[in-house]
Amino acid sequence: MPAASDGLGLVLPHTWRPLGPRIVGAILGVGVLVLFVASWYTFPPETRAKFTLFQLCTIFFLTGLGALCMYALTRSRAVARREGLTVVNGFRKHQLAWAQIVAVRMPPGAPWVTLDLSDGTTLPLMAIQGSDGGRARVAVRQLRALAGELSR
């Protein structure tokens, strides 16, 4: 059963994900796929026949590499639980106790949130992107409130 949190209306566990990169990733992914398929079928049969297996494999490899990079960007998330915060940036995962989080910062113009940690290091939190505007500001307030409440 989820545990209720502070007055901000959050119920734990709570997950933050970036909206902008997910939308861009979906649109670009579909757009590139449509472009490649349409280009292939508009080539005359003689041109298609000139492609070697190596060239086709290279195209598929580069397309897959691009898709993998886009997937890494769109899978960023932060999951708040009573025990702590799980941060996923790309393919790296960090488990933080609330006591480790000293400050939650996102100055104007910053691309994403930065967490100041008790060991003197910082950790980018790509789950809350500055490009999401008001949605990001609300998420920062929620995360600050949770960090303040649960680190006691």
pLDDT value of position 150: 86
Mean confidence (pLDDT) of the chain: 91
Give the C-alpha separation, 32 to 30, whole Å.
6
Residue 80 to residue 89: CA distance in whole angstroms: 15
**Encoding tokens for residue 23?**
């939308």
- Per-residue pLDDT tens digits for 124-151: 999 999 999 999 999 999 999 999 898 7
Long-range contacts of 96-100 (CB under 8 A, 24+ apart): 96/123, 98/146, 98/147, 98/150, 98/151, 99/151
Q: What is the pLDDT of residues 32-75, one digit of tens each?
A: 999 999 999 999 999 999 999 999 999 999 999 988 988 888 89
Residue labelled with tokens 């886009």: 70
Q: What is the pLDDT of residue 100?
A: 96
With pLDDT > 90 as the criterion, what percentage of the chain qualifies?
Answer: 76
Cut 0.85: pTM above it: no
What is the assigned CATH class of domain 3-17+76-150? mainly beta
Q: Is the pLDDT of residue 4 over 80?
A: no
Q: In the numeric block, which tokens belong to residue 17?
A: 């994900």
Predicted local distance difference test score (pLDDT) of residue 2: 47
pLDDT computed for residue 52 by the predictor: 96
Residue 1 confidence (pLDDT) above 60: no
Give the whole-angstrom CA distance, residue 118 versus residue 29.
Answer: 39
Residue 6 has pLDDT above 60, yes or no: no
Burial of 11 (0-12, 13-18, 19+ CB in 10 A): exposed
Encoding tokens for residue 26?
């979906």
